[in-house]
Structure 1
Amino acid sequence: MNAIDLRALLADPVQSGAYFIDDRDTAAMAQAGTALDFGVARIDLSGCGDKTELLARLARGLQFPSWFGGNWDALADSLGDLAWWPAPGYLLMVEQIGGLREADDDTFATLLSILNEAAEDWRERNVAFWALLPLPADALAALET
């Protein structure tokens, strides 16, 4: 897919949501989001193994306001607001997710649900909200089987 195709894809709120992608596409996706003037955040979850650390890293990476409560409801509320980060669309790159998936699958499943709910909420406002979760090609292929 070329850069123009990526921008067209990312600009379409109807298709936005939380998706696993090939980690080799991470840089191109981030560049396309930047070219669209989207709010782009890269959140590294290396070594993250539980909900508390996950929420702390998301709060730092997305520069949540001081009122962020550090729980699932607060995450959902913050992702649905983003008033402190005005942009025509949003692209979150949630990287190095393997450790969290292995350590706490329930937390990971809840995160995916909240990210998809946020995308649905933004879609209703005609704003693209993408949460991309890069995986190595072999791990991505394993999901497809």
Structure 2
Amino acid sequence: MSTDKLDSLLSRPERAGIYHMPYVADLALEEAAESLDYPMHRINLSKVTDKDGFLDAIGKALAFPDWYGHNWDALADCLTDLSWMAADGYVIVLDHADAFARANPTDFATALSIFQDAADTWREDGIPFWALIGTATDGIAWLRELE
């Protein structure tokens, strides 16, 4: 996928949500996010296998405020606020999510549901919020492909 095509896609809040990370478009994705002035955060989950590790990794990578409670509700609150890094759109890449998905599929599904809810909330304000899930395998068949 080209930078121009991604540029056009990323700017559309009605299309934003959670998708498989298109590895073939990695550089183009960074360029598109930069051209739109969207912060792009890559979170390496390769060593994350549980809820606590996930919540910690997300909180650190996105510089969540001190009031972040390291639980699902606090994650949802932070993802739908982001006032400490206000922008016209957001791109979050959850790299190497396989270990967490395999070790704790229920918690992984809960996490992705919270990211989807955040995307839906931001969409109401016309702000694109993208969560791209990077996996080495195609083990998360229900995730949509970024097209």
Q: Flag whether TM exceeds 0.5 (same fold).
A: yes
Residue 141 of structure 1, CA deviation: 7.9
- 1:143 aligned to 2:133? no
Q: How many residues align?
A: 142
CA distances 1:105-145 after superposition (whole Å, capped 9, x unpaired): 01100011000000000000000000001233xx238727x
Determine the structure 2 residue equivalent to 1:73: 73
Give TM-score, length-normalised by structure 2.
0.91
Give TM-score, length-normalised by structure 1.
0.92
Q: What SS does structure 1 have at the residue aligned with 2:10?
A: helix
Q: What SS does structure 1 have at the residue aligned with 2:92?
A: strand
| 1:35-46 mapped onto 2 (5 Å cutoff) | 35-46=35-46
CA distances 1:71-95 after superposition (whole Å, capped 9, x unpaired): 0000000000000001110000110
CA distances 1:32-53 after superposition (whole Å, capped 9, x unpaired): 1121100211100011000001
Residue 31 of structure 1, CA deviation: 2.2
Q: What SS does structure 2 have at the residue aligned with 1:131?
A: strand
Alpha-carbon separation, structure 2, partners of 1:34 and 1:84: 18
Determine the structure 1 residue equivalent to 2:145: none
Alpha-carbon separation, structure 1, partners of 2:43 and 2:58: 7
Q: What SS does structure 1 have at the residue aligned with 2:134?
A: strand
Determine the structure 2 residue equivalent to 1:124: 124
| Structure with the higher fraction of residues in helix conformation | 1
| 1:10-29 mapped onto 2 (5 Å cutoff) | 10-29=10-29
Residue 27 of structure 1, CA deviation: 2.9
Q: What SS does structure 1 have at the residue aligned with 2:40?
A: strand
Determine the structure 2 residue equivalent to 1:34: 34
Question: Please, which runs of 5 or more residues in structure 2 have no aligned partner?
Answer: 143-147
> How large is the RMSD of aligned CA atoms in angstroms?
1.5
Contact 1:21 1:140 in 2 (8 A): no
Determine the structure 1 residue equivalent to 2:134: 134
Alpha-carbon separation, structure 1, partners of 2:38 and 2:13: 12
